[in-house]
Structure 1
């Protein structure tokens, strides 16, 4: 009977490879190191049992891919925020801490809305961020105003449940 593969064994066997693989994808050693560590922390928090080291490599790679997607999504949101701040530089001044809170809030909101059907999140954003009326959104999406009202309610209930 073979010994179970420990997290330490998985870490020693795959951390250097994972760090190198991530650096090639991200183009930044520091970000690659952070994401590699985050991947192993996820494995530490929610332990898995592997019968082979290759199984562990596949699993940790899947975790790292998800973390990369999260990283790129955050970067996209941060970039959009910075661009909007540059356009509003004459009218809005926020210190770094305030900007960080806003960006973190936008990232959480993006994660919440990503869990909704695309038309529901689109209707919610059009209503709450862009200021469109339900009738305007209904016309954009070629749906009834009643459906848009239902979508907005669905999005609000979803966000309220997640905020608790």
Structure 2
């Protein structure tokens, strides 16, 4: 989520922006607490993009926590966008690099909701680390870029293009994803 004033990254439950200090507008997401296919319970919104939202969710059978990417309902009836979402999820499921987010499952719920169940990442994005620490030592940058390059190499070999590679989408959790 982003601050409406400075466009800084916001934590899902933040009351104030950590960059400009402005009070955030808390909006209750109607998806919180709902079940997807009687399999996943949506617990908290993590991020939102143009085509969908990513939630922290619980897999009910195993009681494990994961990330659930859900296509916005506005786009569910758009055949081309829905097909693109499903193609993306199928492609992601083929990736096995240790620096790539794990895709567990993809599907369409009975109500037509399209979703991708993925590994929930802990830690911070590269953008957050830049903002927190400033310039990083070259050795750390090199290690990060090697991991990112390794992940992208596998994706490109399978014909997958990332299309949104930026520091906010590089995740550091002790490793790089």
Same-fold status (TM-score > 0.5): no
TM superposition score normalised by structure 2: 0.27
User: Which has a greater percent of helix?
Assistant: 1
TM superposition score normalised by structure 1: 0.29
